[in-house]
Amino acid sequence: MTDLPQFHSLRGAAVEAIRTPDLQQKTELAQAAARRWQGRKLSLRSPLDRSVPERPGRPAKPVLTPPTQVKRRSLGSLKGRIALLHAIAHIELNAVDLALDIVARFASEAVPNSFFDGWMQVAFEEAKHFRMVRQRLNDLGADYGDLPAHDGLWQAAHDTRNDLTARLAVVPLILEARGLDVTPALQAKMRETGDHESAAVLDVIYEDEKGHVAVGAKWFRFLCARQKKDPAATFQALVRANFRGPLKAPFNDIARAEAGLTPSFYRSMTASTNI
């Protein structure tokens, strides 16, 4: 476990984790920072903190390409399962940095410390997910970085870097919620192919992601209440302004509702595309 004696604050630790291109170190730093924050052994901010980077640190591989150039393969083959797990590893890695970024970038926001409790728990679990998926890739004779990955995920962070409410609308309530929609079918498909180990990894991710969407919904509703705004209407306006692309059905309405994201938020926006 990486020690953090050099860090003066949670924000400083989050910034260093975002910056590092070493993925083992990144995930260890994220989890160590979460533990120290939850143990109230770190202050929130320090004048010595470095600035939040525009992009997270990354290794030389995978090669990043536009989403349209990433090939899709059938899950019926080993190559197809490796490709899917590689894509999931890439999503989980970005999720680590997105959770850290919301902590570091909005550390001066007027929100309770429990806001940062929630997001550091998310960062901790996303780091766990990345490590689990990477280990599963290793078990199958592959590794993260072996295949190209798409470069669209970090765009959400860049587009909402100046607006916490917009960040919550786009990242947990669209990107994370999408995982609730698509993961059950992937779990079933993995089991159909006999890959119960990969399915078990997806089981853990699916259950944790419900909590991540719930953290996003909780704080989105909190900010809307403080601003005396209707949450569903505010969500729709922010999505139109900050999200590129359609909201795609089918939706896992039950899991979404359990997390506090009811159909009134997204149903009217199905397949609406921003121009």
5 in a structural domain: no
143 in a structural domain: yes
Domain count across the chain? 1
Residue with the larger pLDDT of the pair 111 and 73: 111
d(CA 250, CA 68): 21
Q: What is the pLDDT of residue 75?
A: 80
38 in a structural domain: yes
1 in a structural domain: no
d(CA 190, CA 196): 7
For residue 96, the enclosing domain spans 10-46+58-269
Q: Which two tokens stand for residue 181?
A: 């929609």
52 in a structural domain: no
d(CA 91, CA 98): 10
**Packing angle of the helix pair 196-226, 231-242 (nearest 10 deg):** 110
For 11-28, what is each residue's pLDDT tens digit? 999 999 999 999 999 999
Tell how far CA 21 is from the center of its chain. Answer: 17
231 in a structural domain: yes
* HSE (side-chain half, CA atoms, 13 Å) at 208: 20
For 144-173, what is each residue's pLDDT tens digit? 999 999 877 788 888 899 999 999 999 999
d(CA 145, CA 245): 26
For 36-89, what is each residue's pLDDT tens digit? 999 999 999 998 889 999 999 999 999 988 777 666 777 888 999 999 999 999
Q: How many beta carbons lie within 10 A of that of residue 88, not counting itself? A: 25
51 in a structural domain: no
β-pair type (149-150, 64-65) = parallel
Q: 5 pLDDT exceeds 70? A: no
Contact, 166 vs 150, CB < 8 A? Answer: no
3 in a structural domain: no
